[in-house]
Chain A
């Protein structure tokens, strides 16, 4: 009998970038959860005497750590609340997008024939429509509220996830284990839920980590156009939009939210890679 492979156990279960990424995401989540307690000011509190005050280290005072905006509102406080809104929208929408996409993709792969053709047609239609235009139209017709906005954002990227999920399901079906389980007498639902889904999770998760930052950016874009998150609520996109006009005089207004967007996007995708490796027993 050939030599048994010893079961390798990785000693350090997270490398440095992963730890940093996990730390950052954790920080964002905590900030979002306890926003009301840690924000020094209310997001609408105006301090007209300190309009466009620079952050600490750039000539600012401890009164406004990250400076203030054109109306004298505290950037740090607005940032914390914006993180809350943006994370809610991005996580909620990503979850919807992946869930809807996977469900549609698996349905197409399972039923095949006419159902698959119709679903593929829907996917192609969605893929050929610019999402921003669709979102604008829907927001214009349906008005704006946060739940609606999250749902709408959830439609972003579903067609990509659906295509991916369909491909994964078809590939899994062509491989032995799905047909092997089917021939054991398993209900198709069991084959999908217990075998094909767990084997697809890693890939879908990576796709989700790609969708996540994109949704943050689309949300920013829509908010920038005034159709996203509505005042008095604030989001990272709203802040970037507001900061644009003052980019030369008060770059911190734009840089603070931008930095959060970039770091969160990178951190989520690093974490996604790590999670994918963790979920693959052959890489352990």
Chain B
């Protein structure tokens, strides 16, 4: 069952002054379509500034797209800030990267976890306490930590609190925006495994945003690769990682350290990604693409099915 569906969603932000000089637009997200199935994980990968987080915010209804549609359980998201929008927050929750910022430092762990229950008036005080207790257990926080303040917790513990808070109202969709990027590797693994376990238990649909291909591969059923606001390749996670078709995905995958042997067939990319305010004509990747030809500089490749398992936006993909 499709839980969340983005249909050619675009979002641009004005940059620069409207009075002095010309106002430019930064196309953060450009025609992105993707699905999140109930009980499954869709991963979004891409480098910084490729529009991953904006896509996540639009998927959650925290930002509205300039064009395109977002369907949650088959219906359009309500207007941001409206009463329906507020009550719908119960169903879709966000897990943050900056846990210290996302938690009010004046509140104890149990008050923080109880807050979403209070907001949505779930149960009475006693049942809320019970639920907070269950959530603490579920995310692996001990008995002695529930009265602490966020600054007294480690990064991993704070991420568990954020997770418990997101899970408290029993959502059906979780958007995880770089949930483990601020943590060290051993703690990353703990949190990721916790997330996977909870998903299995609760049947959550997850949209997992990360720049870390290793983690995305580990958690995702489907992967969406973004470059400069556009989807360049998407499909089944194992197919994308093991047989990347788009030159950009190939470069990303080749940069993943593997055991044994470190990097094999590393494809270095030259240069920086072009500015999103000033995108190149044709394929956005053409300036860095090792196989670019004239057609890549002239026309924008569409996202077309390559085989039954994935779609790729590349003119050259069928040539090779």
Contacts and interface: CB of A to CB of B under 8 A. Distances in A.
A262 interface: no
Given A180-B96, A183-B60, A185-B86, A4 B102 contact: no
Contact of B94 (A183, A188, A198, A199): A183
Given A177-B103, A282-B151, A185 B157 contact: no
B116 interface: yes
Interface residues of A, number: 23
B303 interface: no
Sorting the interface of chain B by its residue count into under 10, 10 to 19, 20 to 34 or 35 or more gives: 35 or more
Contact of A185 (B101, B116, B149): B116
Contacts of B169: 184-185
Contact of A176 (B85, B88, B98, B148): B98
A7 B101 contact: no
B134 interface: no
Contacts of B156: 1-2
A195 interface: yes
A181 B115 contact: yes
A184 B115 contact: yes
A233 B46 CA distance: 74
Contacts of B104: 177, 181, 195, 199
**Main SS of the interface on chain A?**
helix
Interface in A157-206: 175-177, 179-181, 183-188, 190, 195, 198-199
Contacts of B187: 1
Contact of A281 (B90, B100, B151): B151
A281 B60 CA distance: 32
A1 B157 contact: yes
B101 A184 contact: no
A1 B154 contact: yes
A179 B116 CA distance: 13
Interface string A191-230: 0000100110000000000000000000000000000000
B86 A186 contact: yes
Contacts of A198: 106
A185 B87 contact: yes
Interface in B184-224: 187
B76 to A, nearest CB: 18
B138 interface: no
A187 B86 contact: yes
B243 interface: no
A5 interface: yes
A180 B95 CA distance: 9
B82 to A, nearest CB: 11
Interface of A: 1-2, 4-5, 7, 175-177, 179-181, 183-188, 190, 195, 198-199, 281-282
Pairs A-B, 5 closest by C-beta atoms: A185-B89, A176-B101, A176-B102, A2-B154, A180-B102
Given A184-B115, A199-B105, 18 more contacts: A1-B156, A1-B187, A5-B152, A181-B115, A183-B60, A183-B62, A183-B94, A184-B89, A184-B119, A184-B165, A185-B87, A185-B90, A185-B116, A186-B115, A187-B86, A190-B119, A281-B149, A281-B151
